[in-house]
Chain A
Amino acid sequence: MTQEKSGDGSTGLAGKRPDEAEVAALFARLPDRRARDEIATRFMPFAEYLARRFAGRGEAVEDLTQVAHIGLLNAIDRFDPGREVQFSTYAAATIVGELKRHFRDKGWALRVPRRLQEIAVRINRSLPELTQTHGRSPTIPELAAYLDVTTDEIVEAMDAVQAYSTSSLDTPVGEDAKAPVDSLGGEDPSIELLDEWSSIAPAVAELSARDRRVLFLRFFRGLTQSEIADDVGVSQMHVSRILTQTLERLRNAVET
């Protein structure tokens, strides 16, 4: 919280950004937990600033702030200090991406009980950390114990996450089809995927680049959902939704 005091009084975006050199030093200390917390604390006002830019669109500011915080934590976990991009730039892209997804997946607020929304958010937030602790994705009992909820609540939240976005199945993938890190390189999966699948499912060709990449990484590279989440720059839950929806689309395409 020192950041707010150390600001130079400007109300613009620049005033919300912590000093990059200090931040780089903190990143050098990772995975030290205190360094991670310190980065998170310093960038909280920045995340909140971005959240407020999305206010007035029918979502409570507290919810948006929570989404922005998740985006921030994801950004911290995925940021590669070796790249020639400042963390604040990377964080902004990730946070805004998370906020946009939140709106794209609207219907959530109407259909999913608040309690489950909260659990889903907490699962989403704790997955990267628990994955690091265990060296693998946590089990559902481990998650339940960590979050102090029942295993059934975890399952309900998993279902809620799937359910709330089914309405977007047929909608064309919009402006945030590109995840922040999509543009940072990596092999283009389209050719390999199309070679194997084009005869079976021409619909593959109609998928967005990101969805194709998720399929490619899962079925041709054998990456886990968590690993794909890191690669593509979305949450593990989002990878889960992409897989479920994409496969459903392809299955429908095969059947018709």
Chain B
Amino acid sequence: MDDPQAVASVGLSDTTVTLGLPAHPESIALVRAMVAGVASRLALRYDAVDDLRIAAAEASALLLTEGPAGARLRVDLQPSDADLRLTIWVQGSDASHDLDAREGLAWRVIEGLADEARVTEVDGSPAIELRLRTVTT
């Protein structure tokens, strides 16, 4: 499992891993663990993986502030040879959630720690997509 190419060949690459958790702040630790678990199998820089965990936690925290009662926090992880993409959203949350403002500490952190961060939408709910590129050798 040490060679990233070998990892890709066992099937994790280009497979979406989906996580569904209660929309509670307590779930953030599991998001962090899952991100690390998937990211560790790709050719991503060690410190960038750590950054991505922080960004994912921050994005989750940001989205959780406005989730409806009983909602689910969803995280899609899409590894590929080129990058790892994360899409985080709270299922059923309202699209009026003003993520577009992209202001404040949380955004500064998210944008600073991922290679790319953007606001998107999944089934009408606002989502945050993070991307971390693999290293090119």
User: Interface size of A by Cβ–Cβ distance < 8 Å?
Assistant: 38
For A143, the chain B residues whose CB sits under 8 A away are 46
Contact (A247, B109) CB under 8 Å given A151-B40, A200-B104: yes
Task: Give CA–CA (A243, B48) in the complex, Å.
Answer: 13
Flag if B54 contacts A141 (CB, 8 Å): no
A150 and B40 CA atoms in complex are apart in Å by 10
Q: What's the dominant secondary structure at chain A's contact region?
A: helix
Q: Which of B1, B58, B106, B113 touches A141 (beta carbons < 8 Å)?
A: B1
CB closest residue in chain A, given B62: A251
Taking each of B4, B40, B42, which has the highest tally of chain A beta carbons within 10 Å of its own beta carbon? B40
| Known contacts A127-B46, A139-B4, A151-B1; A250 and B105 CB within 8 A of each other | yes
Q: Is the CB of B47 within 8 A of A224?
A: yes
Determine which of B47, B61, B108 lies in contact with A137 in the assembled complex, contact meaning CB atoms within 8 Å. B47
Which chain B residue shows the least CB distance to A237?
Answer: B50
Q: Tell whether, in the assembled complex, residue A151 and residue B112 are in contact, meaning their CB atoms are under 8 Å apart.
A: no
Residue of A nearest to B4 (CB): A141
* A142-B48 Cα distance, complex, nearest whole Å: 14
Interface readout for A26-39 with B: 1 if CB under 8 Å, 0 if not? 00000000000000
Determine which residue in A139, A143, A225, A250 has the highest number of CB atoms from chain B within 10 A of its CB, and name it: A139
What 0/1 readout, one digit per residue, does chain B (11-48) give for beta carbons within 8 Å of chain A?
00000000000000000000001001101111111111
B112 contacts A222, CB within 8 Å?
A: yes
A188: chain B residues at CB < 8 Å are none
Cβ-closest chain A residue relative to B65: A255
Output the least CB separation between A135 and chain B (Å).
10
Interface residue? A1 (CB, 8 A): no
B49 within 8 Å of A (CB atoms): yes
Q: For residue A118, which residues in chain B have a CB less than 8 angstroms away from its CB?
A: none
Whole-angstrom distance from the CB of B124 to the nearest CB of chain A? 26
Judge if A240 is at the interface, Cβ distance under 8 Å.
yes
A158 to B46, CA, bound (A): 10
Contact status A226-B1, CB under 8 Å? no
By a beta-carbon cutoff of 8 Å, the part of chain B in contact with chain A is: 1-4, 7, 33, 36-37, 39-51, 54, 58, 61, 65, 104-106, 108-109, 112-113, 134-135
